[in-house]
Structure formats: structure tokens, C-alpha cells
Structure 1
Amino acid sequence: MTWATIYNDKHSIFEMFSTSHIVVLLLFLLGSIVIFICRQKLKQVKWRPIEIGIALSLFFFELAFHVWLLASTYWDISDSVPIELCSISLFLAIILLLTGNRTIYELLLFTALLGATQALITPVLYYDFPHIRFFYFFYTHIMMIWVALYFTWVKGYRPTIRSVGKVFVFLNILLPIVIVVNKLVDGNYMFLSHKPRTPSLLDYLGPYPWYILSLEGLLLILSLVVWLLLREKNNKVEANKLHDKS
């Protein structure tokens, strides 16, 4: 049974920009603002146990979601394997929380801010609050972004221009792999076979397969924007150099 079948369950259909959706978006926005405003105070907190706890919670939510799919007979190889971009971002977030690896941070920063943010605004979601699917979707997507912002504003990690190249290469290595998987299982992972049936950004990027090329160009442009906004500023770099010399 696929998500198209689940969609026909009229008792709990999620609606974009409904009350539940707006409340979640406001909570996400509020949390992001708090991380930024309180970043100096947060630096003084010993976060290691919390980092591990959040990593375990993300793993638990992913595991619980697949258990629910299996128990409900909804698990299907064509749409349930965790190789969507946001699923990959979830595992990147877990690895980053556990290891603090800077390359993983670079990949997560762009995939979360560009992928998970768009997913929050235009969710491919069928079950509304208080279904497990609702909690799984919003908790994991919000945490991916918050983890990336936390490592940027609190831990002091910053993207470089090379980070843009890394994420571009990373995603273009994934692209042909996912396309092959889609052909083998008749799937639509990463929306590389067709656009989602619910409204999304892809609706404005042209017909299949041209929207994939449009996404490539948009990815590069937005990645450069993210880098410009979050990169280490020159004055800070110089200040750090002067401090080191003194």
C-alpha cells in the first residue's frame, strides 16, 4: 500500500497552512530566533549530553516511523526507503551531533536550510495532528535545521566557498544513484521521477525532466546565498588572527 492509498483516508488529511501547520511554523521560527539571540549564553552550557540525546531521539523517531509503516502494512519499497534528501539530512544531523565532523556540518547546513525548510513550508504530508506521521515529519525536519543553526551560531562552525562545492558534488553523486533506484522500484525518491502531487516549489520550475535542471541551478544560487549569509566575516577572521598573535 502506498501513500496514494493513505491519502484517500479523509478523516485526518493534512492541509497546508491550516491551524496545525501555522502553529508548527511559528514554533520553528520562535526556536530559530531564540537560538540566534541567546547564542552567547548557549555557548556557556555543557551541551554534550543534550547533543547525544537529540541524536538518539532522531534515530528513535526514524525507527518508530518505519515500525508504524510495517505494522500498518504501508511500508513499500517504492516510497519507504530512507533515501529522500530530508532522510539523508536526518542521518547527517545524527552523525554531526555524535561526531562534530565539519564536513558533515557543511553537507547538513545546505541540505537542511534548502531542503528541510522548503519541506516545512510545503509539506508532502497526509496525516494531520496528532498522528505519529505528523509528529515524525515536523520534529525531524525542524531538528535538522535547528542542529545546523546550533552548530553555526553556538558551536562556531561556518561554511566556506568550498562547502558549496562539496554539497554540489555530494548531491550530484546521489542523483544518478537515486534515479537508478527509482527505475528499479518504480519510485519517486527525491522527486526525480515526477513532481509531488501536493503543491511544492517544483510547480514553478518547469515540466519533467527540466525541473531537475532548474533545481540544479537553484541549488547553486541558494547555496551561494547561504554561504554569503553565514560565512565567517573578514573582520572576525582578522580579529582572531590578531588575538592569536598577541
Structure 2
Amino acid sequence: MEWFGKSHKSFNFEMFSASHLVTLAIFLLISCAIFRYRKMLNGDGWRRFEIGAAISLILNEILNHGWMMMNGVWKLGRSLPLELCNIGLLLCILLLLTRKKIIFELLFFIAVLGATQAIVTPALTYDFPHFRFIHFFYAHMMVVWVALYFLCARKYYPTFHSVIKQIVFINLLLPAILLINNQSDGNYWFLRHKPKTPSFFDILGPYPWYIFTLESLLVILSLIVWFILKKWEKSHEERTGLN
């Protein structure tokens, strides 16, 4: 049971190690497969898969909190599901269960921009095959895959208003996250300091300026992604019309 324990002497994670590169390859392969076989994935028969995927994510999170409690590392300031990717995961589960377009709009840019960045530059201690490694990548990759599934197969396209909704949603949560950080001595959303491990935050400037840089990037990149998808949707509609 060493793979499920607290000790990580045999599981020190290294970015772009063999296990990380294999995981990235799996992530890209399945992401491409969702796009390639999007027409096969839009039938009603996939409803069971959606419910099953939601249940698997819920169980994954229960196991994670159980691991933290069992190993005495669960703390109010770092263990609540308040990180942006955690919120993305909750939205992902709700989207799978309800298929509500508004949830997709709140999830999509968090998935494509936030969870993808976390997969490429993870703030992670444990390497494969430790449970924490498997939990981290399964949760983050599923968030992206579900967003791509609803985009490509279910044709839930984000709009300009989706960008606005996401920005408003995040900024409405911001004061609450700041308050919780202050009361729990936490660092949710990395609002008090950067991750201790190398990450994308390292190129965004010193504290607190990287926070403003990050939000500016979020707005700019969200608009770029929306514009690209708008062109793709228009091109798809034109091709469909010709056929």
C-alpha cells in the first residue's frame, strides 16, 4: 500500500519525466480522438457514459479526501475544493449530470485554459503510480475531455457572452476566496504566493502583479479561443449547408 501512503521518497514527481510525458501523450491522444470521432459520440446512447463519468469523478474526489484524512494532511487552508480547477471539476460533474448550457459556459474556458495548464505544468509532489498522481491527472484530464466532448459531440459552442459570464463568475468568487484564505491561512487560487514547484506562474511576474497578469491573460486568451471557435462553427455550418 506504499502507493497510497503519505511517504513519497519513491514517488518524487519531476516535470517532463517519462511518466509525465506518457500522461501528456495519453491526454493528447484522447483529446484528438474526441474530435476525430465526434459524430459517433453524439448519440443518446452516451448518456450512461456521462452519468458513469460523473460518478467516477465523485468517487475520485471522495478517495482523495479520504487519503488526506487518513494521512493527516487534510487542512482547512488547502484541502477544500476551492481551487479554480476544483471548481471546474464540480462544474464538470454538474454538466455531466444536467447537460445545462450555462454550466458548459462557466466550465469551458476554465477547462481549456486552466486545467490544460495544470496538466502541462502540474503543482504535484507524487509521481506514478502513487494515488495522488493518478487522482490529479484523472481529474484534470477529465475536465478538459468533458468540455471537448460537449463542444465537439454535443455542439455546445461558447459565445461572447460566455466569456463575460465566466469573467463575472470568477470575479464574484474572488472576494470569497480572499476571505477564506485570510481566515484559514490558505493559498487558494495562489492569491498569497506562487506554487513552490515550477509552474506557469513563474513567468507572470512577482507577487502580487502575477495575479493581475493572470486575469488579463485569462480575458485575452478566452477571447482568442472564442474567436477561433466562432470561425470554426461558421465554417462547419457553411460546409454542412453545402452538403
1:36-47 aligned at under 5 Å gives the runs: 36-44=35-43, 46-47=45-46
Distance (Å, rounded) in 2 between the aligned partners of 1:19 and 1:240: 42
1:68 shift after superposition: 0.7
Amino acid of the structure 1 residue aligned with 2:222? S
Partner of 1:234: 234
TM-score by length of 1: 0.91
Distance (Å, rounded) in 1 between the aligned partners of 2:235 and 2:123: 42
Partner of 2:32: 33
1:9 shift after superposition: 4.2
Distance (Å, rounded) in 1 between the aligned partners of 2:236 and 2:138: 34
Q: After superposition, give the CA deviation of every residue in 1:179-223 in whole Å (9 maximum; x if it has no partner).
A: 111111111111000000111111111111111110111000110
Distance (Å, rounded) in 2 between the aligned partners of 1:45 and 1:139: 25
Partner of 1:113: 112
Rate the CA distance shift 1:242–1:130 in 2: closer, same or farther, 3 A. closer
Q: After superposition, give the CA deviation of every residue in 1:124-159 in whole Å (9 maximum; x if it has no partner).
A: 110111111011000000000000000000001100
Matched, 1:98 2:106: no
Partner of 1:3: none
Matched, 1:217 2:210: no
Partner of 2:48: 49
Aligned residues: 237
1:78 shift after superposition: 1.3
Amino acid of the structure 1 residue aligned with 2:233? K
1:233 shift after superposition: 3.0
What SS does the aligned partner of 1:233 have?
A: helix
Partner of 1:145: 144
Amino acid of the structure 1 residue aligned with 2:80? V
Sequence identity percentage: 52
Distance (Å, rounded) in 2 between the aligned partners of 1:206 and 1:179: 20
1:43 shift after superposition: 2.1
Q: Which runs of 5+ in 2 are unaligned?
A: 1-5
Distance (Å, rounded) in 2 between the aligned partners of 1:115 and 1:235: 27
1:1-12 aligned at under 5 Å gives the runs: 9-12=8-11
Matched, 1:85 2:72: no
Distance (Å, rounded) in 2 between the aligned partners of 1:41 and 1:241: 20
Distance (Å, rounded) in 2 between the aligned partners of 1:234 and 1:115: 26
Partner of 2:127: 128
Partner of 2:189: 190
Rate the CA distance shift 1:14–1:235 in 2: closer, same or farther, 3 A. closer
Partner of 1:14: 13
Rate the CA distance shift 1:154–1:10 in 2: closer, same or farther, 3 A. same
1:241 shift after superposition: 9.5
Distance (Å, rounded) in 1 between the aligned partners of 2:42 and 2:51: 17
Partner of 2:3: none
Distance (Å, rounded) in 2 between the aligned partners of 1:235 and 1:199: 39
Rate the CA distance shift 1:242–1:173 in 2: closer, same or farther, 3 A. farther
Per mean C-alpha deviation after superposition, the further-off stretch among 34-43 and 23-32 is: 34-43
Partner of 2:22: 23
Amino acid of the structure 1 residue aligned with 2:142? M
1:160 shift after superposition: 0.4
1:171 shift after superposition: 0.6
Could you say what the CA RMSD is over the residues aligned between the two structures, in angstroms?
A: 1.9
Distance (Å, rounded) in 1 between the aligned partners of 2:237 and 2:169: 28
Q: After superposition, give the CA deviation of every residue in 1:70-121 in whole Å (9 maximum; x if it has no partner).
A: 0111111111111000110110000000000101001111001111000001
Distance (Å, rounded) in 2 between the aligned partners of 1:10 and 1:136: 18
Distance (Å, rounded) in 2 between the aligned partners of 1:236 and 1:154: 13
